[in-house]
Amino acid sequence: MSLQTAFYKTPIGTAKIIGDENGIQSITVLDEDFSGNLDTVNTKVPYYLQDCITQLEQYFSGERVNFDLKLNPQGTTFQKKVWEELLNIPFNKTRTYLEQSKALGDVKAIRAVASANGKNPIWIIIPCHRVIGSDGSLTGYAGGIWRKKWLLAHENPVKQQSLF
């Protein structure tokens, strides 16, 4: 079966989801608005992409902290190893690029790890947004720093409350 595409409107843009019966190959968030009627598109989503949309809806509504989807990202062996390790970063936690390199067993691979992190084809579900600079800065995110900041704030259970 050929790859299928579905679109889902999120608070940070329209998610473009590509996959087939072998799993989700990519999720990217588009900067431009999707010109089609998303409600119409979503009713025709292949069954193997429907669960992804359901789980993304749950994530954005605050009901889901872990994803349970069949993933099939396309990349080199090294990239896939980096992406697998990203899945070990818990919800509402961050890890530095150095810590990520250490977890992969090679401190000297920090640049290669950062590069592979930036090529993650399955945004949000493979949580590359949870990797930050050693000084705590929100360095690099293919979707833009504002999206990384939004996702990390969304995952933080401590919401700023007004004093008045």
The predicted pLDDT at position 47 comes to: 84
Q: Give the count of beta carbons closer than 10 Å to the beta carbon of residue 72.
A: 17
Which domains, and CATH codes, for the chain?
4-60 (3.30.160), 77-155 (1.10.10.10)
What is the distance between the alpha carbons of residues 23 and 123, in angstroms, rounded to a whole number? 14
> Which of 153, 109, 92, 148 lies closest to 100, judged by CA?
109
Backbone angles phi, psi at 45, to 5 degrees: -75, 130
In DSSP terms, 71 is beta-bridged to: 24
Q: Give the count of beta carbons closer than 10 Å to the beta carbon of residue 154.
A: 15
What is the distance between the alpha carbons of residues 129 and 147, in angstroms, rounded to a whole number? 8
Catalytic annotation, residues: 128
The predicted pLDDT at position 45 comes to: 81
Q: Could you write out the DSSP letters of every residue in 53-109?
A: HHHHHHHHTT--SS----B-----HHHHHHHHHHTTSPTT--EEHHHHHHHTT-GGG
From residue 113, alpha-carbon distances to 26, 110, 116 in Å are: 19, 5, 5
pLDDT tens for the 164 residues of the chain, in order? 689 999 999 999 999 999 999 999 999 999 876 545 454 444 578 888 999 999 999 999 999 999 999 999 999 999 999 999 999 999 999 999 999 999 999 999 999 999 999 999 999 999 999 999 888 888 877 788 999 999 999 999 766 555 55
In DSSP terms, 4 is beta-bridged to: 19
